[in-house]
A = this chain, B = another copy of it.
């Protein structure tokens, strides 16, 4: 039941964008460095987000990517959905024909409950929630001690 790097890196990418929301384009290269993700891989992660209209981009000097919506409007369920596909722990939840037992399988019901439980959390968490959580975690910098 592990999340792949797509979901993990992708969420960190979007949190970075949310932290800079309204500041104009952020370069993928910067994010790659700060988040320690290879630039080439990050490019592939941002593609489906752009296609879905969650992120916008521009090329050329001073280009970069940014959130197309406000961080309040982006739920983690959308993010995970775009990057990992469904949260269903078993394929038969999305497609009952994936398994001939779907009609009378008792275990399938439990996996459905597990999915609902996960979705509940992801539906109720937005990028803004992550931003606020991140800000409260921010390590005090050296500068903050010299006010």
B-contacting residues of A (Cβ < 8 Å)?
Answer: 1-3, 7-8, 11-12, 15, 76, 80, 84, 87-91, 104-107, 109-111, 113-114, 117-118, 120-122, 125, 129-131, 133-134, 137-139
CA A90 to CA B84, docked complex, whole Å: 14
Contacts of A89 in B (CB 8 A): 1-3
Q: How far, in Å, is A84 (CB) from chain B's closest CB?
A: 6
Q: How many copies of the chain does the oligomer comprise?
A: 2
* Cα–Cα distance between A91 and B2 once the two chains are bound (Å): 8
Question: In the complex, what residues of B have CB within 8 A of residue A90's CB?
Answer: 2-3, 8
Q: A3-B89, A90-B3, A104-B137 are in contact. Are A121 and B110 (CB under 8 A)?
A: yes
Q: How far is the CB of A115 from chain B (nearest CB, A)?
A: 9
